[in-house]
Amino acid sequence: MPATLRNRVVALLALADVQVDGDRPWDIQVDDEHFYSRVIAQGSLGLGESYMDGWWRCASLDGMLYRLLRAHVDERVHGWSALFDGLRAHLINLQSRKRAFAVGERHYDLGNDLYRAMLGRRMVYSCGYWRDRGGAPLQDLDLAQEAKLDLVCRKLGLAPGMRVLDIGCGWGEGLKFAAERYGVSGVGVTISREQAEYARELCAGLPVEIALQDYRDLQGDALGGGRADGRFDRVFSLGMFEHVGVRNYAIYFDAARRALKPDGLFLLHTIGGNHSVTHTDPWIGKYIFPNSMLPSARQIAEAVEQRFVIEDWHNFSTDYDLTLQAWRANVERAWPELDARYDERFRRMWRFYLAGAMASFRSRHAQLWQLVLSPEGVPGGYVAPR
C-alpha cells in the first residue's frame, strides 16, 4: 500500500480528530491496508463497504461518523461513484413510475421480523416526537411514537367523521391511531407488499382501506372508495417524501392537492437536507434506499408554490437522533433471535446505516420537518399545536 494514500486518509481523519489505531471510542482500527485506497477511490461507498467487509472497526461508529460530518470531511472525498450517480440523476428520472416499487422490494420488504424487532411496539418507521403535550421530555420510544402520531392528528385537527388519506402508509399505524383515537375513516397507500399485508391485518375491523399502489395513481376510482367526490378532508404523509425525487415533486403535490377538499389540510413529514441535490449518497442508494434523495427547503417551497399555502414549518431534527439510538438498541438486542439470513455482513451494513443516520442528524446535516399545507389558506389563520 503506497504510504501516500495512507497518509492522505490519516490526514483527512485528523481533520475530524479521528485517529487510526487510537484508543478513544471514535478512533478506528484498520485490519486491512486496502482500506486506504478504497476510501480514496470510492469515498462514502468505499468507507461503508469496507466496514461491511470487516476491513476496519470502531467502538463508537456514530461518534466517528459524526466527527467526520462536523468537520465536512465527506465533502473532500467523493470518489468516482458519486460522480457517476450525479450523472445518472441528471440523465434519467431515478424515481419514475417504473422504478417506484424498487425501494419497497429492496428495503421495506426485507422482513417484518426485522422491523418488529427494531421499531418497538408501534411499527412506525419515522422520527418520534420526544416530548409530551406540555413540552416535557419523554424517555421511551413507544411513547415518543405515540406522541408523534398524536401531534400529526392535532395539527390536522382530526374529528369524528372525517375521511383521511395516508400517502405511504407503512405498516398502517398512523391510520390505526387516527381511526381509534379520533374517529376518522381512511385510505392508506404503500409500494411495499409486506407493509400492505401487515397493515390490512393491523387495521382489520376499522374503517380503513389499504392499497398497494404508487402515489401517482391517486386519482379517479383510486380516490373514490365508494364516495362520489373521491376527496379527503385531510391528507398526511410520514417519511415517504424522501423517495419521490425532485423531478416528481410537482406531480406529488398535484396528487395531494387533487385528493384534498378545498378546505382541507395536508401534513408532510419528511427528512430534509441543507443543500439542494438530485440524488442520494452512493452507499445509501446501493444498500438502503435505492433511488432516494433528501429534499431541500428550497426544492419543497418551489414545488409547493401555486399549489398550497404553507401554514406551518416545524423542525425537530434532534429527535431523530434519539429515535435512531432507540432503534439501534432494539435491533442489537434482537440479533440473536432473528433469522440467519441477517448474517454478519448484513448486521454490519445495518449498523453503518443507523450510525450514519444518527451522525447526520446530530451534526445537523439532515433535518426533520413537518409542514402543514392548505389549498387556499386557512381563513383567519392557522395555529400550530406543539
CA distances (Å), origin 62, targets 25, 69, 86, 119, 302: 10, 10, 26, 19, 34
The per-residue pLDDT for range 317-370, each reduced to its tens digit, is 999 999 999 999 999 999 999 999 999 999 999 999 999 999 999 999 999 999
For residue 228, pLDDT over 60 is answered with no
Q: What is the pLDDT of residues 114-151, one digit of tens each?
A: 999 999 999 999 999 999 999 999 999 999 999 999 99
CA distance 286 to 283: 5
The predicted structure's pLDDT at residue 351: 97
Q: Are 299 and 245 in contact (CB under 8 A)?
A: no
CA dist 197 and 158 (Å) reads 26
- Helix, strand, coil percentages for the chain (3-state, nearest 5): 50, 15, 35
Q: pLDDT of 38-77, one tens digit each?
A: 999 888 899 999 999 999 999 999 999 999 999 999 887 7
The C-alpha cell that represents 203 in the structure block: 387495521
The whole-number pLDDT of residue 224 equals: 45
Q: Taking the mean position of all CA atoms in its chain, how far away is CA 102?
A: 15
User: Residue 61 is inside which H or E element, if any?
Assistant: helix 61-70
Distance CA 276, CA 294 (A): 8
pTM of the model: 0.89
In tens, the pLDDT along 171-227 reads 999 999 999 999 999 999 999 898 999 999 999 999 999 999 999 888 644 454 434
For 235-285, what is each residue's pLDDT tens digit? 999 999 999 999 999 999 999 999 999 999 999 999 999 999 887 888 998
